[in-house]
Each structure stands twice: as structure tokens, then as C-alpha cells.
Amino acid sequence: MAANLDQIFIHLRDWLVAFLPVVLRPATGVLLSVIAIVCVFPGLFALTTVFERKGLGRIQNRLGPNRVGPFGFFQPIADGIKSLTKEDIVPLSANAGVHFLAPLVLVVTVFMGFAVLPMGRNMVLVDMDAGLLFFFAMGAATELSVFMAGWSSRNKYSLLGAMRAVAQMISYEVVLLLSSVSVVMISGSLSLPKIVDAQNQYTGVFPHWYIFTPWGLAGFIMYAIAATAETNRSPFDLPEGESELVAGYHTEYSGFKFALFFLGEYLAMFSISGLGTTLFLGGWSAPLSFLTFIPSWCWFFGKVMLSIFVFIWMRGTLPRLRQDQLMNFAWKFVLPFTLLDLMVTALWRFMGDGWLRWVVCTVILGTAYVFMARLQWRQKHIGPRSYRYAE
């Protein structure tokens, strides 16, 4: 029963495909999987917007949306209808072709990333040998769409927002890639299902997730920071800092094109959380060995939604960084620490089994963290605070 429930979507697909002649079966199977991805994640997006607005409301001591449907849960439907029926305004001096293409490029490339994520046992659309590389290649292509949007709007706020976004995404993409490289070094594969398989083992009741190793924990924290910056989420949401840039690169977008940007941003959050889950949190494997009876896809989506919850929590808690703080943080703290983590991973790989490598790796990473934090704290020159009031 548990095994059946685990594979229910695979069985459903096979059952549907079996109605067709043999020639059409492989293509239809792929098509059905694509349709599932294209339906499930925007559905999750709609759900997440409600949760985000309600959660932020709670954090900020207000109610959040509560008018449409029970407890305001139909709010995304109302929002969708609104953005569909709104007038689509293209600025007169905008570069119409590029302006039109930018949101499409964004959504298409973000959707492509889902193709290689294993969302459950046997639930991966394409098991590519270089799956991780494919994911990052698609992530790199989204930067271009952000630039296209900002440049083609012919608006200085849009352009400034796009420049900020691209500079930030390039800086943190280095960290994102390097922190994933340590996982590749240990698992010895760029294929995401194989990386999950490597973590789907248990010692006693505890799993072999990479986050439960010293290098994995450090790598995961660096990955999480970089992922937050990549998706332009608070506290790294300078590209759309409302107080300075109106809305950043999508200032001049309205109606459904704006909705596409909104969708793209959330889909990027899902896909990058999915990748983080796959790399460090054991993908679809259960957190304790006696919990394996719960279907694998429940674990995957549960972990993704947990990451999304942390994203929302951070947004409600942390203030926005300044541009120079953002860049200094990336190049002077996160990147050196990730490089060190890469070295420690190599050490871990070649020290063999035993408790010694746990002690050595933890000590190296802990000392480096304390040392770097102290050093940078000393360079800060934080003087007494001064306040200026309007007169």
C-alpha cells in the first residue's frame, strides 16, 4: 500500500498512457509529466502568495487578506482575474519587442529548471548525466531576461534595478555554484537523482543527509544565503527596493506581464529551494528511517514548502541591505568561506571514515568563521549612532 502510494503519480501516468497506441506512448508520458509540472508549481505559487501575505500580516501585527472566500484563501483567484483583465501598458519609447520577450524568457527558463529536479522516487522528468549543470545553465539565462526587462522599459528606475539585480545575481551565482561543487565532490555525480540516492541511507534511524556533516552544514548556509540573493528576496531585495526604485526592473510592466514576473520570481524560489533540498536535505528521502512509509513526494514538497516558509519569515524579520554591504558580504565573507568549505570537503573526502574527520573539519570551519567574523567586525568602525529629524 505504502509503495503504491509512493508511486501513485507514476502509476497514474502509465495507466493513462496505456490507452494510446505504442508509438505515441513515450511522447505522451513526457507530455503528461510536463503538464503536471506546469500545473503543480503555479498552483503552489497561488497558495504561497496567500500564505506569504497572511504570514507577513501576522509578523507585522495585522490581519492580511481576509475578504475573498473563507479566510481570504481565494485571494489569488481574484488577483489572477484582475491581472488578466487589466490594461497592458507599454511605454511609448520602450523597445516593444524586447519588452514583450523579457517576461516570456524569464518564465520559460525558470520552468526548464524543474525538468531535472527529482520530486520523488522515480519522479524526475529527465535524468540527465549533467543535470546540475543544466539547472545552473537555465538559472544563468534568467539574468539576461532581467536585464532585457530593465533595459527595454526605457526608464531609469528600471535600468538601475536591472543593473543592481544582474550585479547581485552574478556575485552570488559564484557562491551558489561553489557550494554545490562540494556536494558533487562527495557524491561523485552531477546527476540529481544519484545525489539523492547517495543521501538516502541510514545509520540507525538517522539519515546520511549532507547537511548533517560539518562541510555540508557550512555549504548549506552559504547556499541558502546565495539562493536568497539569487531570487532577489529580502534582505537582498535591493533590485526592487520600493523606497528608491519604485519596483526595479518591472516598474513599467502591468497586467499579465507583471503577473508573469511575479510568477517567475516565485517559481525561481521553488526551484532553488528544490535544488537546495536535493543537494543538502536528502531530496525526497525521509528524515528518520521509520518514516519511510510516508510517500517520497510528500517529503520533497514538505521540505520545499518549509524552505519557502523560512524565506517568508526572513522577509518579515530582516531589514534590507545597502548595495555596498551586499557586495562586501558576497566577496569578502561568503565567497572566501565557500572556498574554504571546498577545501574542507576535499579533506573530508580523503580522510576516510572515523570520528577524526568530524573533529578536524568542525574545528577548521569553526575557527575560520570566528576569525573572519572578528576581523570584519573590527574593520567596521561603528561609531555612535546619529539621528537627523526633519525640521
Partner 1 sequence: MNFVFYLLAALTLGGGLAAVLLKHLVHSALATTVAFAGLALLFLQLDAQFAGFAQILVYIGAVAILIVFAILLTRGSDLPKGGVFSATWFVGLVIAAGVFAVLGWAVLISVEALPQQASVPAVTVHDIGIALVGRYVLPLEIVALLLTAATIGAVIVAMHEKGAPK
- Contact positions vs partner 1 (CB under 8 A): 98, 128-130, 133-134, 136-141, 143-144, 147-148, 151, 159, 163, 166, 170, 173, 188-190
DSSP 102-158: HHHHHHHHHHHHGGG---STT--S---TTHHHHHHHHHHHHHHHHHHHHHHTT-HHH
202: three-class secondary structure by DSSP: strand
| Smallest distance, partner 1 to C-beta of residue 233, A | 20
**H or E segment and range at residue 227:** helix 214-230
Phi-psi region at 43: left, alpha or beta (left = phi > 0; alpha = psi -120 to 50): alpha
User: Which triple of cell numbers denotes residue 372?
Assistant: 573572519
Closest CA to 210 of 225, 224, 195, 193: 195
| Smallest distance, partner 1 to C-beta of residue 169, A | 9
Nearer to partner 1, 102 or 334 (CB): 102
| Smallest distance, partner 1 to C-beta of residue 366, A | 29
Nearer to partner 1, 134 or 209 (CB): 134
User: Which triple of cell numbers denotes residue 274?
Assistant: 528544490
Nearer to partner 1, 13 or 250 (CB): 250
Nearer to partner 1, 144 or 298 (CB): 144
| Smallest distance, partner 1 to C-beta of residue 133, A | 4
Nearer to partner 1, 173 or 244 (CB): 173
Nearer to partner 1, 73 or 333 (CB): 333
Name beta bridge partners: 207. Answer: 202
| Smallest distance, partner 1 to C-beta of residue 162, A | 9
CA-based torsion, 387, 375, 233, 172: positive or negative: positive
| Smallest distance, partner 1 to C-beta of residue 172, A | 13
Question: Up-side HSE of residue 79: CA atoms within 13 Å toward CB?
Answer: 18
